[in-house]
Amino acid sequence: MYREDSLRLLNRCSDFLPKQSRYTSTPYYVKGKGLYRNYYEHDDHAAIAKVIQQKKFKWPWVVSYDNAEEICAMYRMSQSLSYGLN
């Protein structure tokens, strides 16, 4: 666990992480502003989606998010799994 800005870490992870899957737990899209001191704006979420979906990002990846329409649209070209928690 790196506790670092996701975009910054994703852009440099090939320098030091083994070629295993990448897991990124990003701040919630809808409620992030009310939950975190440092929350992401729409463009921040879009930048992460763009980086990990590029062909040059060669590692398997998992990103966890709240199930927001905007996030689903950003990742529409990627395989996804939706689930609920009680």
Q: Quick one: what percent of the chain has pLDDT higher than 70?
A: 98
Question: Domain for residue 57, yes or no?
Answer: yes
Q: What is the mean pLDDT of the chain?
A: 84
Domain extent at residue 33: 6-74
Question: Domain for residue 85, yes or no?
Answer: no
pLDDT at 1 (0 to 100) = 66
Question: Domain for residue 86, yes or no?
Answer: no
Structural domains counted in the chain: 1
Confidence band (pLDDT; 50, 70, 90) for 71?
A: very high
pTM: 0.78
Q: What is the pLDDT of residues 4-52, one digit of tens each?
A: 777 888 888 777 777 776 777 777 898 888 888 878 899 999 999 998 8
Question: Domain for residue 11, yes or no?
Answer: yes
Question: Domain for residue 79, yes or no?
Answer: no
Q: Which phi and psi angles does 63 have, rounded to 5°?
A: -125, 130
Question: Domain for residue 49, yes or no?
Answer: yes
